[in-house]
Amino acid sequence: MLKRKVNCFWLMITGIILAACTPDTLDANSKSKSNIAKAQAPSIPDYPPMYNVEVNICGNIIAPIKDGKRCIRHNLRLWGPVEEAKLVQTGIPLGTMSAVDHKLAISSKGCYPEYSQPSNQQFYWADLLIYVNKTGKKPTIEVNTTQLSNQEISSLINSRFSTPTIATFGGVGCKPLPVQK
């Protein structure tokens, strides 16, 4: 009988100790798991502003008619804020031709991926050639910008391949424009 009381006593003491220690043990484990997860999570540096930019050029240009308008749409990825977009005449108006070559110039801090970091705020050539008719009103340029989040910029920069659907400045593109603002 004494042996049974001693066994019950030890079982009761063990149960009390386990009950008293269990919440602290779980809290310590969850805290250590949380600390391990934080230590393993890569920190994302702060990136300068980057924008997805959609440029719509409509009006007196040589382009297919859609919804009753002649428009060309061009997508870009640019550093810094986009201040202005303009068409710059690059071709020579010939008497036999009804249109003159123009290129799109955008004021920003450079384009991604050509510039891995922002450069100077100035006009850069976009890789887009537009034929503007000699007679009639000037075409209109509409610029829609969407700022990327820091997470989106980080995953874009750290990915092996840039999104091929976003037009990059190729050829003569993303070179500083030799014309002053």
Using omega within 30 degrees of 0 as the cis cutoff, is the peptide bond preceding 113 cis? yes
pLDDT tens, residue by residue, 71-110: 999 999 999 999 999 999 988 887 767 889 999 999 999 9
pLDDT tens, residue by residue, 115-137: 888 998 999 998 889 999 988 89
Quick check: 59 and 141 in contact, CB under 8 A?
no
CB atoms within 10 A of CB 101: 15
Quick check: 128 and 103 in contact, CB under 8 A?
yes
Q: Residue 142 pLDDT > 90, yes or no?
A: yes
Question: Per this entry, what is the length of the chain?
Answer: 181
How far is 78 from 154, CA to CA, in rounded Å?
Answer: 15
Look-up of token digits 């303009």: 86
Residue 151 contacts by C-beta under 8 Å, 6 or more apart in sequence?
Answer: 44
pLDDT band at 14 (very low <50, low <70, confident <90, very high): low
Per-residue b/e over 23-54, b at no fewer than 16 CB within 10 Å? eeeeeeeeeeeeeeeeeeeeeeeebeebbbbe
How far is 16 from 180, CA to CA, in rounded Å?
Answer: 82
Give the pLDDT score at 162: 52
